[in-house]
Chain A
Amino acid sequence: MNEVFYISATVALVSTLAAITGVNAIHSLLYLIVSFLAIALVFFTLGAPVIAALEVIIYAGTIMVLFVFVIMILNLGRESVEQEKRWLSPGTLIGPVLLAVVLLAEIIYLLVRNTSTLSGTGAIQPSELGSALFGPYLLGVELASMVLLAGLVGAYHLGQRARPDETDDERKGPPE
């Protein structure tokens, strides 16, 4: 089972790298879907089967599909690939890579200093999650529903396009 963790973690890292450095948006999205599926497998080996299923259903199945829809709505075409190639030169990556590598080195140093080996004590069952959600974390569930409501209203309002007979400025209404 350890090998499953290592292999799927490697797949996740490689496909995320390929997604971030890609120039075609749809290709990057598909690489990221592969990455999320690999991460779901990592969660499964870490005793979180419910979270693995939710990762596939919600992250790979909803959020990435939203991205695909938006990219298809935008309908960018071949010139967007050329545009990305112009924007993403190797020189652009040097700065962020250096900074991220420094942060990563710090994290690795801290982890190497304080590793605690512990074999897991069994997978967390859905009933346990359900009891916790209805018990101590009830407030968190309610707050999550409020966040979703805010996201819904915000996305609806921001996604509106102006009607053909008015401009975007007029849509906001007369000044107060």
Chain B
Amino acid sequence: MASISMGQGLLVAGLLFAIGLIGVLARRNIIFILLSLEVMANAAGMAFVVAGYRWGQADGQIIFLLILTMAAAEVSVGLALALQLYRRFKTLDVDAASRMRG
């Protein structure tokens, strides 16, 4: 096992989170937005694993398991929504779904 300071581990997690955030804000294609959301969720999980490593406890990894589960459910629903968007608007541009009905 490596001897990494918690600051360095959290720095990697923070950088990944920032990159995912840039992707969510800057892209218009819904597939890329969902991809960036996955990157952000993974980065948050990495922060938990780093914390668990620092204290030598299993709790950080348990929470990463729960985050993994949530990310899987979120991805399946998000991709189903992307399919619906494409069927309805014939484009993957999220700006196409900018108005509410009714």
Contacts and interface: CB of A to CB of B under 8 A. Distances in A.
Interface of A: 1-2, 4-5, 9, 12-13, 16-17, 19-20, 25, 28-29, 32, 35-36, 39, 42-43, 45-48, 50-51, 54-55, 58-59, 62-63, 66-67, 70-71, 73-74, 76, 80, 84, 87-88, 92-93, 95-97, 99-101, 103-104, 107-108, 111-112, 114-124, 128-129, 132-133, 137, 140, 143-144, 147-148, 150-152, 154-159, 161, 168
Given A51-B49, A115-B5, A84 B29 contact: yes
26 contacts: A1-B1, A2-B4, A5-B2, A32-B35, A45-B1, A45-B2, A46-B50, A55-B68, A59-B68, A63-B75, A70-B83, A95-B25, A99-B25, A101-B18, A107-B10, A115-B7, A116-B5, A116-B54, A118-B3, A120-B3, A121-B56, A132-B58, A132-B59, A133-B65, A144-B70, A155-B76
Contacts of A168: 87-88
A70 B79 contact: yes
B58 A124 contact: yes
A42 B46 contact: yes
Given A20-B23, A161-B87, A12 B73 contact: no
A80 to B, nearest CB: 8
A67 to B, nearest CB: 7
Given A42-B12, A70-B83, A120-B53, A32 B39 contact: yes
Select the residue from A50, A51, A92, A112 with max chain B CB neighbours within 10 A. Answer: A51
Interface in B44-98: 46, 49-50, 52-54, 56-62, 64-66, 68-77, 79-84, 86-88, 92-93
Contacts, number: 236
B52 A67 contact: no
Given A117-B5, A124-B52, A137-B62, A13 B16 contact: yes
B11 A151 contact: no
Interface residues of B, number: 71
Contact of A67 (B12, B35, B49, B56): B35
User: Main secondary structure on chain A at its contact with chain B?
Assistant: helix
A96 B59 contact: no
Given A111-B10, A140-B66, A73 B21 contact: no
B4 A46 contact: yes
B67 to A, nearest CB: 10
Contacts of A107: 10-11, 14
B29 A25 contact: yes
